[in-house]
Structure 1
Amino acid sequence: MKASAARAFGEPVDLPIVVGVDGSEPSMRAVEWAADEAALRGASLRLVYASLWERYEGASFAHDLGKPSEEVMAEDIVETAERRARQRQPGVKVTTDVLPEEAGYGLIRETHSALAMVLGCRGRSGVTEALLGSVSVTVAGHAHCPLIVVRGSHDNRSGARGRIVLGVSEKQAGLSAVRFAVEEALLREVPLEAVRAWRRPLHEPRAHPLIVGEPAHLQERQAAETVEEALRGTPAGLQVHRRTIEGFARDALLAVSREGDLLVVGARRRQGHFGLQLGRVAHGVLHHAACPVAVVPEPA
């Protein structure tokens, strides 16, 4: 099943996939990942670089080329990103833009008219690779479309694991994330692994009564029911694995992310706040997952 079979689960394909680039190698890996995604979806690719160079340099600082040095650098960045995208997926339509504005604000504005926003994960050492830059955190916290941070090993980024992982949230609270994960699994023709964590009460008695054929703990049974409800209406042709894991949701998803090509989680919008407010689980997996992470906005 390719794009035509999955479009019913997502946004119109005339919207582009937008990639925020900054010239770093992680952002170029994000370009390649997004190019593959655009090819799967039959979508176009928009590469943008945002910076406040115009405010600080202005026309009076023009050099021999007649442009501020930062503008020259910005154009070089997007041209390099465009070459990487075209080399990766020659059939994908690619456009570029340089935005003379603060990066976080510019990228958030781009999410209003994007199929998805894709960013790279900055960091060169084992410690810093676990951390996101401030721009990524800002965009993740206010995006109006799915925000994907491309992180993890080459195998996880290249689709070699052969599965999409979905973090299942509370009942009826994460349907947008479910639809996005289902669509990704259909597009890639891989199984979907739906994961829900559960925890037993601190003072649960040891001699808990058991009902034959049912989970030993009420919390485990409720977790299984939540997974089933979330997957209700899943296409019959999609292979789905259901998992309930005892422990904290963040830890469970981080462990499973090692075996995934993409980890999908939802994030709720809260009344009285601007944009998308990240919870602890979404924040944790964005910083530490072993594969690319998609944070999908959920309606209030």
Structure 2
Amino acid sequence: MSQPIVVGVDGSEHADRAVDWAATEANLRHRRLHIVHAVENWPYGAPLFAPAETIGLMSRVGRGVLVAVAERVREQWPDLEVSTALVSDDAPHALIEQTAGAFEVVVGHRGVGGFTGLMLGSVGLRMAARCTIPVVIVRGTADERGEVVVGLDLQKDADAILHYAFDAAALNGASLRVMHAWRVSQTLVEAGFAPDRDKAERVEREFLDRLAAAYAPWQAKYPQVDVVPEVVMAHPVTALSDASHAARLVVVGAHTRSWTAPRLGSAAHGAIHHAHCPVAVVPST
């Protein structure tokens, strides 16, 4: 297929794990793997102010990283088409530039150099918030026998998220856990309006019906995928984090848009930081 899978590298162990995940994905999907390394001019800010020998050294190191990664990928996946790019720019801009026409972009949750650790303000978080294609942050340990977990906000359009989740489950021969988490606000609890057992069960049944209606069209398109619906009375981040312990992938949505770019909601933001397996952030269509 023409749409490649893009992965950012910087020579770190975390980036190597991202490459392994991306290469496995590209091989399964019969897509080209495009490996990107960013050469930043920081702290100089612009090439004009960076010493020529520094720029030259950083470029040579970057080319060495790309060559080493590409060779390792070709040894392990000899039939996989691989391309590389050395980009002189800050890491988020470099990746976004290279993702034009791509299927998805993959980054490690921590790193060195151009691709820094996935903490607040980091490359992975910024990519997930700005990219208009799926972004996979490779963190934790994926259970190769585990299920795909998708968290749904039933008040938002979930078609793009469900499409990605069903496709990932079918691709890996995995079951799909479709989750919705809800909780009573602390204000209502303090005011004495917490639901009793009967009310909680009625709410759960209602949410299960709404979940089934949301994923039914995709279940029809992917009949081979075993779906496990689940409604949890908990904070969405807690529910997704707990489910991620035995999962191969967690899928969340970047629903809100500002101009043309998606923005992360609190559940997606929390999952990126706390999940115990790779997280795919899928923008709504």
Q: Which interval holds the TM-score relative to the shorter structure?
A: 0.7 to 0.9
Equivalent pair of 1:28/1:84 in contact (CA under 8 Å)? no
Which AA in structure 2 matches 1:243?
Answer: E
**Residues 207 and 251 of structure 1: CA distance in aligned 2, closer, same or farther (over 3 Å):** closer
Q: Which of 271, 276, 294 is residue 262 of structure 2 equivalent to?
A: 276
Change (3 A) 1:81 1:168: same
* Secondary structure of 2:83's aligned partner: strand
- Taking the aligned partners of 1:57 and 1:260, their CA distance within structure 2 comes to 48
Describe the superposition over 1:213-269 as per-residue Cα deviations: whole angstroms up to 9, x where unpaired.
xx7444323321231122112122211111111111111000000010000011114
- Equivalent residues in 2 for 1:8-157, closer than 5 Å: 13-53=1-41, 55-56=46-47, 61-62=52-53, 68-122=56-110, 131=119, 134-153=122-141, 156=142
Q: Match for residue 181 of structure 2?
A: 197
Match of 1:160 in 2: 144
Which residues of structure 1 form unaligned runs of 5+? 1-12
Residue number in structure 2 paired with 1:10: none
* Cα distance between partner residues in 2 of 1:129 and 1:68: 25
How far did 1:109 drift?
Answer: 2.5
Q: Which residue of 1 aligns with 2:210?
A: 226
Query: Normalising by structure 1, what TM-score?
Result: 0.82
CA shift at 1:80, angstroms? 1.4
| Displacement of 1:205 | 6.1
Distance 2:146 2:256 in 1: 31
Q: What is the CA distance between 1:138 and its match in structure 2?
A: 1.2
Q: 1:30 to 1:221 in 2, by over 3 A?
A: same
How many residues end up aligned between the 2 structures?
A: 271
Q: C-alpha distance in 1, partners of 2:15/2:196?
A: 54
Unaligned runs of 5+ in 2: none
Counterpart-to-counterpart distance in 2, 1:207 and 1:55: 62
Name the Cα RMSD after superposition.
Answer: 2.6
Q: C-alpha distance in 2, partners of 1:79/1:205?
A: 59
Amino acid at match of 1:229: A
Equivalents in 1 of 2:70, 2:49: separation in Å? 26
What secondary structure, in the 3-state scheme, does the structure 1 residue paired with 2:193 have?
Answer: coil
The answer to whether the aligner puts 1:236 opposite 2:223 as a matched pair is yes
Q: Distance in 1 between matches of 2:272 and 2:183?
A: 22
The code of the aligned residue for 1:275 comes to: A
Whole-angstrom CA distance in 2 between matches of 1:80 and 1:139? 25
- Residues 289 and 121 from structure 1, CA distance in 2 versus in 1: closer, same or farther, beyond 3 angstroms? same
State the Cα distance separating 1:284 from its structure 2 match: 0.6
Q: Offset at 1:114?
A: 1.0
CA 1:246 to 1:179, structure 2 compared with 1: closer, same or farther past 3 Å? Answer: same
Q: State the 1:144 CA deviation.
A: 1.3
2:261 counterpart SS class: coil
Q: Is this contact kept in 2: 1:171–1:226, CA < 8 A?
A: no
Deviation at 1:174, TM superposition (A): 1.6
CA deviation after TM superposition for structure 1 residue 59, in Å: 9.7
How far did 1:103 drift? 1.1
Cα pair distance change 1:276/1:83, threshold 3 Å: same
Name the residue aligned to 1:292.
Answer: 278
CA distance in 1, matches of 2:11, 2:103: 23
Runs of 4+ in 1 over 3 A off after TM superposition: 53-60, 128-133, 203-208, 215-218
2:111, 2:93 → 1: CA distance? 22
Change (3 A) 1:115 1:207: closer
